[in-house]
Amino acid sequence: MALDITQKYCKGCGICVAFCPKKILALDEKGKIYVTDPDKCIACGQCELRCPDYAIKVVKPGKGESNG
């Protein structure tokens, strides 16, 4: 998945949901962010850029991950 979400930081403002160009973000029954379809994420960074609580981090494929 291209998004690293820390739900405990999320206050459920919905800004990321509104700005996601692929419309793959939603709020669950507790008002916390989740990804509805991770395969459609284009890692554009709009959610990370606009999240006031730093609850979302975009992880580009092959970046930040060790293979060993």
68 or 13: which leads in pLDDT: 13
- The number of folded domains in the chain is 1
pLDDT of residue 68: 44
* Structural domain contains residue 66: no
pLDDT of residue 60: 78
Query: Cα(21)–Cα(63) distance, rounded to whole angstroms?
Result: 22
| Structural domain span for residue 37 | 3-58
Q: Is the pTM of this model over 0.85?
A: no
Residue 48's H or E segment, with its range, is: helix 46-50
* Structural domain contains residue 33: yes
Model confidence at 2, pLDDT cuts 50, 70, 90, reads: confident
pLDDT in tens, 15-62: 999 999 999 999 999 999 999 999 999 999 999 999 999 999 998 766
Beta strands in 22-62 (DSSP E): 25-27, 33-35, 56-58
Query: Cα(49)–Cα(58) distance, rounded to whole angstroms?
Result: 9
DSSP readout, 7-23? GGG-----HHHHH-TT-
User: What CATH number corresponds to the domain at position 34?
Assistant: 3.30.70.20
